[in-house]
Structure 1
Amino acid sequence: MQGKTYSTIQGDTWDMIAYRMYGNEYLMTELIDANPKHRNIVVFSAGTLIAVPEIADPEPDNLPPWKRGGSS
C-alpha cells in the first residue's frame, strides 16, 4: 500500500485526520483499516505516525451513463 504518513497533533481524532488529509471525514474508515495497531485510539496524543493510503476519487453518482467509467 503506497501513501503518505501523518504525524498527529494532540487532540486529533480519526475523522479530523480524514478531513485534513482527504477533505472528507467519512473516509476515516480507510485510515483506521490502514492503521490496525491504532484502531482503539479515539483521541490521539501528539506525534503518533499514521499511514495515509492513497484513495481513488469516487465517481459521482449523478453522471449520465455515457460518462461513467468501466466497460459498456
Structure 2
Amino acid sequence: MRYLEHVTTDGERWDNLAWRYYGDALAYERIIAANPHVAIMPVLPSGVRLIIPVISVTQTPPELPPWLR
C-alpha cells in the first residue's frame, strides 16, 4: 500500500486531514486506522507523524450509460 507522511501542526483535526488529502471530511477513519499509535483526540497536537494511505480513484469510462457510471 502506498502512503504519504504528514507531520501535524497545532490545531489540526482528523476531519481536516481527510478533507485535505481525500476531499471528503468523513473519510478520516481511514487515516485513524493507519495510525494506531496515535490517540484519538478531537484536536491533534503538533509534531505528530501520521501515515496517510493513498487511495486510487476509479475512473468511469465515458461510453457507459449514466446509470452505470
Tell me if TM exceeds 0.5.
Answer: yes
Displacement, 1:24?
Answer: 1.0
For 1:1-72, list aligned pairs within 5 A: 1-57=1-57, 63-65=66-68, 67=69
How many pairs were matched up? 64
1:20-45 Cα deviation digits (max 9, x unpaired): 11111111010001001114232111
Q: Percent identity?
A: 27
SS at match of 2:12: coil
TM-score (norm 2): 0.75
**What is the aligned-residue RMSD (CA, Å)?**
2.1
Gaps of 5+ in 2: 61-65
